Every structure is written in structure tokens, then in C-alpha cells.
Amino acid sequence: MSPGLEQRCAIVTGASQGLGYEIAKTYIGAGANLLICARDARVLDQAFGKLKQLVPAGQSIIAIPADVSQVRDATALVDRALTEFGRLDVIVNNAGVTGPIGPLEELDWLQWQRTIEINLMGAVWLSRAALPHFKRVRRGKIIQLSGGGATQPTPMLSAYAASKAAVVRFIETLAHETRAWHIDVNAIAPGALDTRMLNEVLAAGPEVLGQAYYDHLLQQKRSGGAPLSKAAELALFLGSARSDGITGRLISAIWDAWDELPDRIEELSVTDVYTLRRITPEDRALKWGKRR
């Protein structure tokens, strides 16, 4: 991985395993100083031990157990990064959970609510905490991990799907609010990953998920899923100066030619490409549905 974050400082949440860990590793290779966090202190410490061995002289990494769904923890992460590094350039909102699985009326409501707190409010609180600094220095990068639930229904995973759609509309809205300060806010669709979350969903079985969806996920598991490295490379691109001016977009790590976007910023800025929108009959060449 070629460098691209030299002297930059980043926070990566949910970095103890899976995609968060892969992004942290990629950021270290690109020259970043890094603060990583996760809720499980033991697993975080294990990840920190491995990542620290990759950090060359002149770079730093720190690890802090934190629950970003709590305002106090999110604020403390930003304060610690600024104290340790003297600056903050990038936040990667990766922390997330699958949430309860099953028909809505049978789910534990507290677990449903907790999924929204972690997946949505965790991103909101950390972004909110970083904004005063980003506005003061008139630059910054906010990168949000999304998922399949943002763009299509995900039966039996209603809390997960709702939270992932919500974070995309959140980043689109925040991008408009912060454009004048040259703060770029984008979301990543990482593709179908073979991670802990996939195992959790599969564990629910075909009785809960339905045979067709279960078979689809099982095939995803057997194929190995999308490479974690693809989403990590996109996270690096969006955290680097190469992506300056690209904001308010949901970009697929697998399907979109995101490395070409620096040459299309002017065109991109006046379109709704890579955004959530309502599909109308007219969009599908249908002749009905328009009030006269």
C-alpha cells in the first residue's frame, strides 16, 4: 500500500477485529498516527499488540476502550487524539453491531434500540465531537461504514437495516452542512464481508432467516466474501488528500471506480450519483404515477 496519510492523525472505531482492524493496519502502512478503540478491552488490547509491531519509528498508535454510543466516550476520544497528536484529520466510524435477528414483533426492544444507539448514534456523537476542531482548522475527513441494509430491505434484521440507511442520510446531510469548511463526509459500502457479523446472522438458521436468504448467506460464507482490503483501500483514499472535494457520497468499495473520482469532482458535485433517493415511476420509464 503506497503512503498517503503521512503526518495525518486518525481515529478508527471498532478497530479490534474485522474490517476496523484491516483499516487500522492500512492506515499505519500509509503513514498515519492512529487512535483505535473498541468496547471489549481484552480484544482491543490483543489487536493493539499486533498493530503496534507494524508501527515504524516516527509514527504512533494508542488504544482506548470506548463505547462510542456514549457521548462522554466519543468526546473523550477526540480530546485524547488532540492531546496525544496535536491534531486530528480523519475519523472512521466503523463500530457497529448486527442487532437482534427475527420478525420485528418478536424482537427484544432493548436490543433493537441498542443497535440504533451503536450504529447510528455512535457515528453521530463522534462526528459531532470532531466538528469543532475540523471547522477551526477548516478541513477534515469523516468516513462512515455502511452496509447492504442501507440500499435494500434486509428481512429479519430490521434494526441493522434501519440504522445503516440512517447513517447514509446522516452523512449526506452533514456533508451539506460542512462543505464551506472543506470537510469531506462520505460513506463506504464494503461489500458482502465474511466477518463476525455474518457468522452471527447465519447462527440464526434458516428457520428464522428463511431458506432462500440463509442459502444466499451460506454461499457468501463459502466464497469467502468480499476482500476486507478493498474497503480498507477505499477508506485510505477517502482519508487522503486525493479525495479532497468528494463529499456526501455512498461509494461501493467493490463496484465503483472510486479511484477515478478525483478527475470527476466538478461533474460529481452537481449530480445525485452515489446518493440515496426515491425511485419514481418515471425513472423506470413507466407512464403512470404523476398527478395531473
C-alpha to C-alpha distance for 116 and 109, rounded to whole angstroms: 11
Torsion angle of alpha carbons 269, 275, 281, 282, nearest 10°?
10
Active-site choice (27, 160, 214, 274)? 160
Query: Nearest-CA neighbor of 175 among 133, 143, 132?
Result: 143
For helices 158-178 and 109-116, give the axis angle rounded to 10 degrees.
20
Of how many residues is the chain composed? 292
Give φ, ψ of 4 to 5 degrees: -175, -5
Cα gap 194→230, rounded to integer Å: 13
Rounded to 5°, angle at Cα 85 from 81 and 86: 95
Nearest to 228 by CA among 8, 14, 17, 47: 17
Active site annotation includes 274: no
Name residue 192's beta-bridge partners: none
Cα Rg of the chain (Å, integer): 19
- 93: three-class secondary structure by DSSP: strand
Q: What is the DSSP letter of 240?
A: S
Q: Return the C-alpha cell found at 17.
A: 477485529
User: What is the pairing mode between strands 61-65 and 140-145?
Assistant: unpaired
User: Which positions are annotated as active-site residues?
Assistant: 160
